[in-house]
Amino acid sequence: MNELILLDIFSYSCMNCIRSFEFIRKINDKYKKYGLETIIIHPPEWHFEKKCDNILRALRKFKINLPVIIDKNQNILRKFKINFWPAQILLRNGRIVYKHIGEGNYKKLENNIAAVLKIKSKRIFSSEPVYSKFPALYCGKKKKGKIQKLNKKLRFGVVYIDNNWIQKREFIESIGDSSSLAILAKGKIVNFVAESINKRSIKINIKLNNKKIKAITAKNPQLYKIMELKNENNQELILTASKNLAIYSFSFQ
């Protein structure tokens, strides 16, 4: 009997991983009855993702009930020579039969699974799924975040801050009671990975094209949806918050 294991490399604050997992979930739901076992490998992208409590909270949020291996020191990733995620590895009797790094190729992954299991029923994906491919915008020194002082002309890929922010290894931190930053946003949905350093809820006011739109709050370290946009054109987004807010990255869908 063939043992077929699908390893999905997934970290809970990675927008690409979250988006990718919805396709992996569909594959698992269909093929588990034929013998496919899906296991999540969770490497930490940020320091807070090394904490089990944070991971368990995220798994409940996304309703993920698959087995999870926490790859705290990324030993498993090094074994498979992976330094970017999401990624999928298909193992047949312990040997790699398929490997893909990054989003996409879900149709090819399904075809490999069906071939090994000798399943001829209708596939989930008749064509490769379409999804947005805007790059993430990082804030900390670790990811070489591009940080500049606020000015009138913004470029995509840069975070513009006032004097009430400082750049640290993994994030930028607000140090004033009215700390503002600006970015050019793309896509239909804008997210950021953030947390309250003092573990108290922080209110964040949001302006779009210089018009106040809404306010959100951030507390636990996780991915937050900032807002939905009506079109994918470049739009100026301004966030203002009190001190003790850490922002790790922005992502766009």
Q: pLDDT tens track of the chain, all 253 residues?
A: 568 999 999 999 999 999 999 999 999 999 999 999 999 999 999 999 999 999 999 999 999 999 999 999 999 999 999 988 999 999 999 999 999 999 999 999 999 999 999 998 899 998 998 877 888 999 999 999 999 998 878 999 999 999 999 999 999 999 999 999 999 998 899 999 999 999 999 999 999 998 988 999 999 999 999 999 887 778 899 999 999 999 999 999 8
> Same domain for 50 and 20?
yes
In a domain, 86, yes or no: yes
Residue 248 lies inside a defined structural domain of this protein? yes
pTM strictly above 0.85? yes
Domain interval for residue 210:
137-252
* CATH code assigned at 150: 2.60.120.260
Count of domains for the chain: 2
29 and 107 housed in the same domain: yes
Cα–Cα distance for residue pair 253/242, rounded to 1 Å: 27
Nearest 5°: phi and psi at 112?
-65, -40
Q: How many Cβ atoms from other residues are within 10 Å of residue 154's Cβ?
A: 20
Task: Please check whether residue 129 lies inside any domain of the structure.
Answer: no
**Residue 33, in any domain of the structure:** yes
Q: Residue 130 falls within a domain, yes or no?
A: no
Question: Is there a single domain that holds both residue 102 and residue 177?
Answer: no
Do 11 and 87 contact (CB within 8 A), yes or no? no
Which one, of 102, 165, 169, lies nearest residue 136 by Cα?
Answer: 102
CA-closest candidate to residue 104, choices 124, 127, 81, 121:
127
Q: Do residue 24 and residue 87 come from a single domain?
A: yes
In a domain, 108, yes or no: yes
Cβ neighbours, 10 Å, residue 82: 20
Whether residues 154 and 112 share a domain: the answer is no
Q: Look up the CATH number of the domain holding residue 101.
A: 3.40.30.10
Whether 122 maps to a domain, the answer reads no
